[in-house]
Each structure stands twice: as C-alpha cells, then as structure tokens.
Structure 1
C-alpha cells in the first residue's frame, strides 16, 4: 500500500512497522540497520523517510495509547510521544491543567513538533520544545534512556530531528488552566506596521499576521489574549464575521473568534482538531530570523511578491522567544518567523525557494526543519553556533547512524 504524509506531497519509500508496545519498539530498533520514527506525518519532505537503503524501517507509534500523567508537585505532565497536542490538551484540561502555548495545528504529535522546533507565537512565548523537562527515548541499541534538564546533552537532545533515537514519552511543563479570547482585525497597512511593529506583535499573548505581500498590507491579524490580560490595543478594523486565513477556506475549521472567552485549547490553535488541518493539499516553508531584522525581511519579501504570487496561498508572521536548544530556529535570538503556505506544486515552489533564501539567510534566517527548503549544510552551519557540538553528540550516541538518512546528511553532514 502506498503511504504518504498528511499533505500527500511525499510518498514514503521504506517499510512501515506499527509497533504495539515500547518493548516491541525496542526489539525493532535493536534488529534493524536503519530506523526512523514516522510521527504524525506533518513534515513536507524526506525528513522521516529512508531513501538510501532498502532494508530500513519506519516505525509508527500510532497503535500505542495516549497517556497524560500529571505531577502537580512539579507542575509537569509526562505524555506519550506520539500523542497529538489536541489529545494531550483535552486530557490536561479535564484535570485543570494547561500548556503555556500551542502551535496553529493541534493535530501534530508532541515528539515530532518538539524534534523540529515547531512553535506557536508570542513575544513572551518560546517554541514548544522549551516546555520539555525530559525525554524518554530508545537508542540505537534498543535501550531506553532518559535525558532531562541539567544533563550535559539536554540542549542537543530536544530539537534533534530524530537523529538520536525514537522518543517514547516527553515530560512537559504545565500550569493551571486558563481562558483565552481570540479577535481578528483587518486592514493593517505596511506603513502602520513599520512605524509600530513592536506594538503590534506585542499587543496580545499570541499574535499572527497574515499577508499575501500585496500593497494592501496585512490582510488579517489574529490576536489571542489570556483571560487576565487587558484587551489588545485597537488597530485596523475588527472583523465583522469569522474569518479563515485562506480566501475560500471553511470557517467551520477555525477556532472561535469574536473575542468570546474560552478554554486555552480551543483558542490558541488556529484550527479545530476535528477538521482537516490548514488547507490539506499544500506545501509549507518557514524561516526564523532575529527579530531586529523583521522589517528588512518584510521589505525583501514584498520585493518578491510577483514571483511568489502564482504558488502562494498565504504567508504568516509570528514571533518566538530565544532559547538555548542547539538546533532550534530561535537558538540565541528572539525571532520573527516568516511562514509560507504554498499550493501543492513542488516544481514551482522549489523554483522560488532559492530567491527567498538568498533574501533571508543573510539576515540569519534558519529554515523550519519540517518544511520545504533548499539550503544544505554549507549554508546552514554558519547559522547554528552549536552545529559542531550536535554532530559530536550524534557521533557519540549513534556512531553507526542507525537513525541516519539522506535528509540528515544533507543538512547536518
């Protein structure tokens, strides 16, 4: 049977093994010459695939149960790595707990999102990986080990692209549950954004700006405020009805707008768990660059708008707080993330990516590991001060490259 990622943009080559338990996973890893964890299939490339050998195994954890075990004394929750954020959030909410942030899609797996540096938005919010207190993973010998905060290897083990093992559970920081209200505003001009960028991106707990880079400016601003915060300062015009960021998108699929308070898990994501995430048939790219270069990046993307328009569905601008995770897109810098949702036309998308990277990489932009980009290790290494340290960690943990693949050789070396 042909198996693809969620968007249908990549067909997996290797055999897929659905493991029935952690012990079964350990047996599979110990016996196979090459293994990759498949995750929730929300990556757009060969990140999780094995294309260079015929006897590799992609392990699926889909058949393992979702467990969420809260420890109130440490304000943490241990969750199974394959669990989707939406399911974890539902379980936490039932016990009166919450995560500090969520990405736009609740459908993605905890382990996969953490491993690729996936994020939400907010000038006070780190990526999803910054909530990790510890990881349990199966190493190349099939043995289960734990890496936690304070361990020497921790900074290199969280955003690790699956290169160090298969994550079976993740312990996350949690906090008491809270409400969020979401508002959408329209008609934010480029001039207003340029004169008050910090005010706009800091106007709510989580802020997302949607644009197609035209002269009209920012088409929609999605503002998510916690219940104990003051309402956002007004700019643009409040949306008169529920909006989807795609021009013809189904508004039933997006989370509640209009400033109506509701539980955090029903407002922080853009999309509802019960609906197809985002558009479905699409490609995505994203580049995270130091926030001080945000306006320069915007001007450069506006200069490319005619080249982008034929394949661009929408772009989104978000912010992420700096962290100390070696392969994180926000390592060492508060960043602005420039996201592109493309039509599912690989030839035309990959034809415009070199121009985007020529404009953004000199500003320090790092591509999202799970999305489409063309830069290789020569271009990426100067952007990651701890890249050599990560390679040394990988050499020590997985010297035989049991968890290696073509993608990792292309981008890590």
Structure 2
C-alpha cells in the first residue's frame, strides 16, 4: 500500500498518492501539459485542504535553484521552491535584504506568496508585496511571465496556485540592515488594551504572545532596526519587564530554536524570523488559524478574545498579535486594509477545535475578519468572498488563465 502524503503538520492527508518532482522546467512543462487535475505542493505548511487534489501533486523543490541578484535593478529572481532561509543566506552576504520575513524561514517563496503569508510591521507589506514578476507554467505547458504594471497583475500574485505552476519570482530588495531583538515578559491585559496601538507599532516588527490562561500577555517580542535610532524602551515597559534569558513563544518548546534576543544586533535575516532555519520549530503536532482585521478593530478584537479566554485556552498552544501594511493585491488578506493579525496555534484536535472556531468567528465576524487562506477556518464561501472588493475580478483572472480548471480542487471550487 502506498504511503499517504500529508501536509507538514499531518492534519491533512492528501487525496492522491501521486507526487511529481520534476528536475527541470522543461520536464515540469511536460507534466503539466499531460496532466488532468494538478495542484502545487510547497513546503506543506498550509493547514487546510488548499493544496489537496484527487489528481496529482507537483513539487517544484527539485527544479534548478535560482538566486540571481540584479543590483542595478535592486531585485532578485528566485526559484519558487527555494525556502526563505536559503534565499536570505544568499542575499545577506551580498549586502541585500528583503523588507520583511515570516516567523518561519522554512517556508518556500512560492507557497508563501501564493497564500498571502506575511511577516510583521505596520510599515511592512506582506511577502507578496515584494513581487515584481511571476514566472509560471500555464495549463497548456507554456512558460509565461506576468510583471508589475501588466493588466491584472494585482490579481495574479496571491492566487492559491490557481493560475499555473509558479517556477520563479522576481522580488524587490533593499540594502542590508541590522536588527536588535528584545523580549518583554508579562504585560498585563489592562495595560495592553489601553496602549495596544502603541505596543503593536513600537518598532519595525512587534509580536504579542498570549496563552489566555492568565491576565497578561506572556511575551512581547520587539524587533528594532538599529538604523532607526536608540532602543525605544527601558527595562520596564507598561509594566512588563525585559526577559532575563532566551525565550520561545510556544510553552514547553526549546528556547534554542528561536532567533537571538537580548538586544544583540544582528543581520535582518537572523532577527526578523522568530525561529532559526537550522531547527524545526516543533514536531508539527499543531493546527493553525489566523484572522486579519482592520487595524482600527484591534482593541475590539482583543476584547473578543478576552471574552472567550475560557473557551480558547484549553486547546491553545499560543496566540500571536501582529500588524501588517495594506496592499493592492486582490486576494491578499490585507487588500487595502492596514491590519492586525490574530494568529492561533492549536492543539491537534479538529473535533474539539470546530466549535471553538465557530464561536471565535461569530465574535470576529462583525469586525470584518478575513481568514488566512492557508489556515483552518469555518467561514462560508459567500461570506469570505464578500470580504474582498475585487473578488469577482480575481475569479475572472483565475478562470482566464485556467478555463478548464486543471489547477482547481475542492477548496478553490468552493471558494472561487
């Protein structure tokens, strides 16, 4: 019997045993042209069925590795299967940086862009906002490129893998910069609520971690660009105190897995992620959800979570609050909204989680919450579509690229 294919966390068992791993773009084109139903599999860090298919999965991880820096254009072209940690290890020695990074350097560039995966900072857009060109294989096997400024470009970046198989992306880069990271312990919810906007915008990137078992945020991670001036806070900040040692935001997990703290300056790629590339941050025994709301709704959202603390806490590892800048990408969870992100890492119990999600979404729905495309959520398709002003245009672009639905699956059929 064939071994089941699963996502990284193991909570999704794919509906196919067929996985293609082409080793050249030409071989990929042949696989696509000959295929019927196909989906692209990145690093498998999605927690729902967005990558599932009854046809065949395609991994681009074995395509020839490309990291081509164009200093004159301040751009880098990277193969889609490259992990962010690998890309940054090439950029930093050359004196270049990306504007933002997600918590995990282990995820692929193509997968992160396709699902609107982000990073943190109210002045920083998602990872997808750095994209200036996307190279992809169409359903017929043709190799095409869409470029910033082209008609419908904003509908061709965050697409959930529905327009073709992305082979490479060209990203904006900027000169390298240094970051110092500090963690504050125990900021009481009363102080956090009153000063929430100040806390979330206190530095280049800020994350607030809560377990909802006590009346305080367990940790506040502050990532400050050294070139922005002196560290903005003292040892005590709104009642919280500087951590006495290295911290891991997930209770019970090894602090050695996380990027260096304590205010030691270091390169952007060794501070902006929460976790180090050389360690797998956990065993995968988790399910994740995330909701993105207008920044103006940050305090009401915090109140919703506080009111549900007794419901959330029993199945929660940790939750995280972050901010992200608005963008113009039609299916981005941050389309035209500076946003607060509410992220949840749950225990791997889908049965127990289902009613919690329904109650959580009932509280967040009036605040305009958009679910993350790659996480677990319960919202109905019509409701999700209503949250995106350009949803009909995005659907038109997807259908224009793939009129016969070669790259569709049950998830995208349901939501598109």
Q: Please report how far the alpha carbon of residue 176 of structure 1 lies from its aligned counterpart in structure 2 after TM superposition.
A: 1.2
1:85-129 deviation digits (Å, cap 9, x = unpaired): 000000111211111110000000000000110011111111111
Is 1:401 the equivalent of 2:410? no
Contact 2:75–2:173 under 8 Å retained in 1: yes
Indicate the SS of the match to 1:407. helix
CA distance in 2, matches of 1:190, 1:177: 36
* TM-score (norm: length of structure 2): 0.96
Contact 1:105–1:278 under 8 Å retained in 2: no
Q: Please report how far the alpha carbon of residue 187 of structure 1 lies from its aligned counterpart in structure 2 after TM superposition.
A: 1.7
Q: Paired residue for 1:350, among 350, 354, 357?
A: 354
Is 1:386 the equivalent of 2:390? yes
The residue aligned with 1:60 is: 59
Is 1:317 the equivalent of 2:317? no
How does 1:152-191 map onto structure 2 within 5 Å? Answer: 152-191=151-190
Contact 1:13–1:50 under 8 Å retained in 2: yes
Q: Please report how far the alpha carbon of residue 6 of structure 1 lies from its aligned counterpart in structure 2 after TM superposition.
A: 1.0
How does 1:218-257 map onto structure 2 within 5 Å? Answer: 218-229=217-228, 230-234=230-234, 235=237, 236-257=240-261
Is 1:38 the equivalent of 2:41? yes
Contact 1:114–1:128 under 8 Å retained in 2: yes
The residue aligned with 1:26 is: 29
Q: Please report how far the alpha carbon of residue 214 of structure 1 lies from its aligned counterpart in structure 2 after TM superposition.
A: 4.0
The residue aligned with 2:273 is: 269
1:353-385 deviation digits (Å, cap 9, x = unpaired): 111111112211100100101112111111000
The residue aligned with 2:330 is: 326
Contact 1:117–1:159 under 8 Å retained in 2: yes
CA distance in 2, matches of 1:302, 1:101: 29
Contact 1:376–1:410 under 8 Å retained in 2: no
Is 1:362 the equivalent of 2:366? yes
Indicate the SS of the match to 1:358. helix
CA distance in 2, matches of 1:87, 1:406: 32
1:254-274 deviation digits (Å, cap 9, x = unpaired): 000000001111110000111
The residue aligned with 1:411 is: 415
Contact 1:26–1:142 under 8 Å retained in 2: yes
1:130-180 deviation digits (Å, cap 9, x = unpaired): 111110011111101111110111111111000111100010110111111
CA distance in 2, matches of 1:144, 1:92: 26
CA distance in 2, matches of 1:5, 1:123: 31
Q: Please report how far the alpha carbon of residue 191 of structure 1 lies from its aligned counterpart in structure 2 after TM superposition.
A: 1.8
CA distance in 1, matches of 2:122, 2:247: 24
Question: Structure 1 stretch 326-335 or stretch 192-201: which is displaced more?
Answer: 192-201
CA distance in 1, matches of 2:399, 2:377: 25
Q: Please report how far the alpha carbon of residue 280 of structure 1 lies from its aligned counterpart in structure 2 after TM superposition.
A: 2.1
The residue aligned with 1:337 is: 341
The residue aligned with 1:3 is: 5
Q: Paired residue for 1:297, among 278, 301, 304?
A: 301
Indicate the SS of the match to 1:309. helix
The residue aligned with 1:49 is: 52
Contact 1:214–1:302 under 8 Å retained in 2: no
CA distance in 2, matches of 1:104, 1:17: 28
The residue aligned with 2:122 is: 123
* TM-score (norm: length of structure 1): 0.97
CA distance in 2, matches of 1:277, 1:115: 22
Q: Paired residue for 2:292, among 288, 292, 297?
A: 288
The residue aligned with 2:75 is: 76
Indicate the SS of the match to 1:28. helix
The residue aligned with 1:199 is: 198
Contact 2:96–2:173 under 8 Å retained in 1: yes
CA distance in 1, matches of 2:282, 2:263: 22
Contact 2:177–2:267 under 8 Å retained in 1: yes
Question: Structure 1 stretch 69-78 or stretch 227-236: which is displaced more?
Answer: 227-236
CA distance in 2, matches of 1:262, 1:315: 26
